[in-house]
Amino acid sequence: MAPKHNYIIPVTKNFFVCVLLLSFLLSLALNSFLFSGFIFIKMSSTTCAAPIVNSTKPFCTGRYIYEQRLPDQFNLGLIRECHNLSRWTDECQHVQNYGFGPLLTDTGDTLVPPDVWYGSDQFTLEVIFHNRMKQYDCLTENPAEAAAIYIPYYAALDIGRNLWYQPILVRDALMNEMLQWLKSTPEWAVQGGRDHFIVVGRTTWDMRRKKDEDSHWGGKFMAVPETQNMTVLIVESTTRHNNEFGIPFPTYFHPSKMSDIFLWQEKVRHVTRPHLFSFTGARRKNHTAAAIRDQVINQCVDSPRCKLLECGKYGGKCRSPVSVMSLFQNSTFCMQPPGDSYTRRSTIDSMVAGCIPVFFHHNTAHKQYKWYLPRNHTQYSVYIPEDAVQNGTVKIEDVLLGYSSEQIVAMREVIINLIPTIVYNDPRYKIEGVRDAFDIAIDSVIEHTRKIRDESG
């Protein structure tokens, strides 16, 4: 069972360096209370095992990644000040355990095995990805042999603390500082950032401020010229920019061994699903998504075959991973209308539970996660145009009743086979023969940067 501490996996060359680093950090914590129980580097066989590789590993040829050594204020410094990351929620609990959040303790027989389920927040992907990168087999200290260069800037955590009630000078300050530092590096000068990539844990719309006026929403990281040269892995892309690629939101499931995956797959394959369809969410007011949301909720309320887990003002049961995953397990189809933006973390969670997603807009998943989901979206999902629902020409229940039990079993089996590829494994362990969401992202980034190099000659 994972200890209830935060873990930031450092890149070190040997055990002795790890001991010195740990001693220094513990001393710093005692003197300044900086860590206050939130940032803790755990000594273990894997914590200090992130390899700095060389060219003697033939399987790494063409697969090396160089990690930019950003100053701490752009990543770990944000976590050390986790109490400032949000005005309303305790983000310190969410960045612990490698970014997975607190280990869930009330799983019962709903979530199995019990020691791989965490209260993961939807906005901590940058921390999760960075910790996985520390254990990547083909890290290199030689940028010249790297297929791609990773920028571990926590852009989402940075902007998330200043999205509300802050002037743009405050919102953009750390971003501008990071970009100036990055552009001063010799690695950037080689291709102007075209071989660099970054992970962003918020939707692109939070990072594309249209005007430099305090009244306009968001940051502008995704809109600055420097970012246009990078490859950006983000939980929701515009689907229009060829340097942006959607990758899955974090889920609650973070397996550490093959048996964790098999056990969960067997559970969702054979569990009884009493509800034909369900919806987890809340209505939206004064929002473009309000109309389709209202229709989905209304049709669910009107049908005895539908189960609604309605999120109140403060989230209610929607904030309980066990309640959410229990509903998804008990449902054959899970409705996924757009929310504050096109995507929903709920899409990935429901698929992990073996529930067939019902989409009303292609940008929710079909156009987002091209690296992860089958090109033929009918293999794993249902698509109902939102206009047809809003104008009353289509009844959701009637569409879903049109699927035979054989079709449902086949679609669910596709989803069950996708589960290992849309979750983020525990970085302390290697699961041989399993490619998770991180592995697929790295493979795809390397292929993408290779094409960029080929095109530029």
Asked if residue 39 belongs to a domain, the reply is: no
257 inside domain: no
Distances (CA, A) of 212 to 95, 150, 160, 220: 30, 28, 18, 9
Asked whether residue 220 falls in the same domain as residue 296, the answer is no
Let me know if residue 394 belongs to a domain: yes
Identify which of 29-33, 37-41, 211-215, 403-407 has the greatest average pLDDT: 403-407
Which sign, positive or negative, has the C-alpha torsion 167, 172, 177, 180?
A: negative
Do 105 and 220 lie in one domain? The reply is yes
Q: What is the pLDDT of residues 57-83, one digit of tens each?
A: 789 999 999 999 999 999 999 999 999
- The Cβ of residue 101 has, within 10 Å, a number of other Cβ atoms equal to 24
Exposed/middle/buried for residue 20 (C-beta within 10 Å: 0-12, 13-18, 19+): exposed
Domain identity same for 221 and 275: no
C-alpha to C-alpha distance for 276 and 408, rounded to whole angstroms: 11
Whether residues 273 and 222 share a domain: the answer is no
Distance, CA of 13 to CA of 8 (rounded, Å):
16
CATH code, domain carrying 326: 3.40.50.2000
**Same-domain pairing of 58 and 200:** yes
**What's residue 47's pLDDT?**
32
Q: Is residue 5 assigned to a domain? A: no
Number of domains making up the chain: 2
| 200 and 331 housed in the same domain | no
Q: Is residue 331 a contact partner of residue 278, using CB atoms and an 8 Å limit? A: yes
Least confident of 312-316, 367-371, 405-409: 312-316
Listed residue (301, 376, 292, 308) closest to 342, CA to CA: 292
Quick check: helix, strand or coil at residue 357?
A: strand
Tell me: do 284 and 223 sit in the same domain.
Answer: no
Same domain, 316 and 407: yes
User: What's the pLDDT score for residue 311?
Assistant: 86
One DSSP character per residue, 272-295 reads ---EEEEEEE---SSSTTHHHHHH
Q: Could you tell me the pLDDT band of residue 184, with boundaries at 50, 70 and 90?
A: very high
| pLDDT tens readout for residues 229-285 | 999 999 999 999 999 999 999 999 999 999 999 999 999 999 999 999 999 998 877
Structural domain span for residue 381: 268-421
Q: Which residue has the tokens 């998504």?
A: 289
- 100 is a domain residue: yes
Query: Can you tell me the distance from the alpha carbon of 200 to that of 244, in angstroms, rounded to the nearest whole number?
Result: 10
Specify whether 236 is located in the same domain as 88.
yes
Q: Are residues 212 and 273 in the same domain?
A: no
State residue 155's pLDDT score. Answer: 98
Say which residues have a Cβ less than 8 Å from residue 128's Cβ, sequence separation at least 6. Answer: 98, 99, 100, 120, 250, 424, 427
Residue 233 lies in a domain: yes
**Band of residue 317 on the pLDDT scale cut at 50, 70, 90:** confident
pTM, two decimals, is: 0.88
Q: How many residues does the chain have?
A: 457
CB-count exposure of residue 268 (10 Å: 0-12, 13-18, 19+): buried
pLDDT value at residue 123: 95
Span 4-42, pLDDT tens digits:
344 454 444 343 334 344 444 444 443 333 333 333 333
**Do both 186 and 158 map to the same domain?**
yes
- Residue 219 pLDDT greater than 70, yes or no: yes
pLDDT at 102 over 80: yes
In a domain, 388, yes or no: yes
The answer to the question of residue 13 being in a domain is no
Torsion of Cα atoms, 295 then 296 then 301 then 302, to 10°:
60
Q: Quick one: pLDDT at residue 88?
A: 81
* DSSP states along 282-329: ---SSSTTHHHHHHHHHHHHH-TTEEEEE--TT-GGGG-HHHHHHHHH
* 244 lies in the same domain as 277: no
